[in-house]
Amino acid sequence: MIKFLDLKALNARYQDEFKSKFESFLNSGSYMLGAEVVGFEKEFSNYCGVKYGIGVSSGLDALQLIFEAYKTLRILQKGDEVIVPANTYIATVLAISNTGLTPVLVEPNSQTFNIDINAILKAITPRTKAILGVHLYGQLYDVDALEAISNEHNLILIEDAAQAHGAEHTDGRKAGNVSDVAAFSFYPTKNLGALGDAGAITTNNLELSQTIQKLRNYGRTSAYKNEFKGFNSRLDELQAAFLRIKLKDLDNENDKKREIAQFYLENITSNQIVLPVGHSKQHVFHQFVIRCEKRNELQEYLSKNGIETMIHYPLAIHKQKAYIELSSMSLPISERLSDTVLSLPINASIKETEMLKIVSVINQFK
């Protein structure tokens, strides 16, 4: 069986470094917001090319803390509308509704899977205050267009960069540095994955970063002095230590994913399959997502032939029971994508023989 993702094999490559890190962590006696978190925040913000990085407990918390910080600074308030793509992981939209804001779902472009520019323009109302773009599957959204729209309409631009660590715009700026503020997840399956929950926020906005830094730690300014009603959303010290080890290898890992993607793009020739589009530097291939009219049959056929695949995502947000209040929306592009997309295995532990098998099995699909 070719697994979709073998996390054990991926992390085994770092086990010696992880183990010696754990020993020194244990012996340090400093287990909360210590040298590892501070070190990771510095290294990750440098990597992204921004001034400030704040480690937090997950990707969802990163997104929620961004909205909470804007509310604390009285830049956003309850009920403000936030434009967001309908074809994303549910956490993107939960962050908006969980913080009392109103998600306004819009369609993606069916070629890039990313938020559609005309759909944004149609969705803007006097109550629109922000756009939450997603670099879906690892490919940057249309950075120039989103920056232009948000400048023209005076909207906050936020990146959900949970799938795009290291993706690079044509002007050299990386994911995390192509908006006002960005949220990252280091969930174990992400391109940069911890061994548990972890996340981060990157920004060049000092006031925002200071507010988030306080909010993630009970709103405190110093021990037992609290300026805001905050949260416990700290990045775990041990996860930060692991992430520092893996960050050094991120560019390598992304390049390996790009190579596998290139192999699929060149060798999958079946006319039943629509291949993804994307410029190589702008895309870190968190997922390699093909489309097929007979998607369910294809998935079953691949499974019978020992190839595990996944569907990202089988339901658009307005079709989720959790968002029943949005169920009357009509978003045909998002709905069609959820019926036709299929993610192929793409990670550094796949062997060449497995890649060959995957393409030959797919090319024989009738």
Ligand X SMILES: *Cc1c(COP(=O)(O)O)cnc(C)c1O
Residues that bind ligand X (CB under 6 A): 58-60, 88-89, 91-92, 134, 160, 162-163, 185, 187, 197, 199
Task: Give CB contacts under 8 A, 24+ apart, made by 295-301.
Answer: 295/339, 295/340, 295/341, 295/342, 298/272, 298/342, 298/362, 298/365, 299/342, 301/361, 301/365
Structure tokens at 266: 């060149």
Query: 73-103 burial, b for 16+ CB within 10 Å, e for fewer?
Result: eeebeeebbbbbbbbbbebbbbbbeebebeb
Nearer to ligand X, 160 or 335 (CB): 160
For residue 318, the minimal CB distance to ligand X (Å) is 17
- Residue 312 beta carbon to ligand X: minimum distance, rounded to whole angstroms: 8
With respect to ligand X, which residue has the nearer C-beta, 89 or 288?
Answer: 89
CB of 89 or CB of 141, closer to ligand X: 89
Distance CA 215, CA 72 (A): 9
Q: How far is the CB of 132 from ligand X (least distance, A)?
A: 10
In whole angstroms, the minimum distance from the beta carbon of 163 to ligand X comes to: 5
The Cα 75–Cα 105 span in angstroms is 21
Whichever of 64 and 72 has its CB closer to ligand X, that residue is 64
Residue whose pair of structure tokens reads 């340090």 in the numeric block = 28
- In this complex, which beta carbon is closest to ligand X, that of residue 58 or of residue 150? 58
Which of 63, 68, 107 has the alpha carbon at shortest distance from 88? 107
Q: What's the closest the beta carbon of residue 84 comes to ligand X, in angstroms? A: 11
State which residue, 55 or 59, has the beta carbon closest to ligand X. Answer: 59
Of 166 and 298, the one with the shorter C-beta distance to ligand X is 166
The residue (of 180 and 355) whose beta carbon lies closer to ligand X is: 180
Q: Helices 352-363 and 250-267, interaxial angle, to 10°?
A: 30
CB contact at 8 A, 178 and 143: yes
The distance of closest approach from Cβ of residue 304 to ligand X in the complex, given in angstroms and rounded to an integer, is 29
Within 10 Å of residue 148's Cβ, how many Cβ atoms? Answer: 12
| Distance between CA atoms of residues 340 and 329, nearest Å | 20
**Phi and psi, residue 24, nearest 5°:** -70, -35
Least distance to ligand X, CB of residue 229, Å: 22
Closest-approach residue to ligand X (CB): 59
Three-point CA angle 96, 183, 131, nearest 5°: 50
Minimum distance from residue 303 beta carbon to ligand X (Å): 23
